[in-house]
Amino acid sequence: MQKLIKYEKKCSTEDKKKIPEIIDIEFLDKKRRPLSMVGGFVQLEPLTIVRVTFSIPITTALFFQFPTGVDTFEFTQLISAIRPVDDRVVEFRWEVPPALLAFFFVIGCTNSICRRSEEIGVFLPE
């Protein structure tokens, strides 16, 4: 009989202070106005500014999308990777592909400690 060993690293109190919490994710038009929600999805503009606020300064922010209707990681696409300049707020300009219907998420990392956001439905009509 084969024995399975589960590896689990316990975070110290000091490590927990280094976990970046995602405070806010904003989708803005080129004039920096918030974009509308339609049926639970954010209606994007062809050029959308995504602004993410973290609880602590991060070293890297990764932005991803995957199409609706799939549950496998293989369809996930990296949209952008940003190394902020010692700040808690990260922005990137997303040139959104036409007829997009997807879920969006961000991962913020402080060195090797990362946190993933919830998935947000996004779309851009044709």
Give per-residue pLDDT as tens, 91-116: 999 999 999 999 999 999 998 899 99
What would the pLDDT profile of 22-32 be if each residue is shown by its tens digit? 999 999 999 99
Residue 45 to residue 29: CA distance in whole angstroms: 6
Residue 7: per-residue pLDDT = 44
pLDDT above 70: percentage of residues in the chain = 83
Q: For position 87, what pLDDT does the model report? A: 82
Hey, is 25 helix, strand or coil?
Answer: strand
End-to-end CA distance of the chain: 57
CA gap 57, 107 in Å, rounded: 13
How confident is the model over 82-90, as a mean pLDDT? 85
pTM: 0.83
Mean pLDDT over all residues of the chain?
87
Average pLDDT over residues 47-62: 95
Mind listing the pLDDT tens digit for each residue in 56-72?
999 999 999 998 886 66
Cβ(99)–Cβ(126) below 8 Å: yes
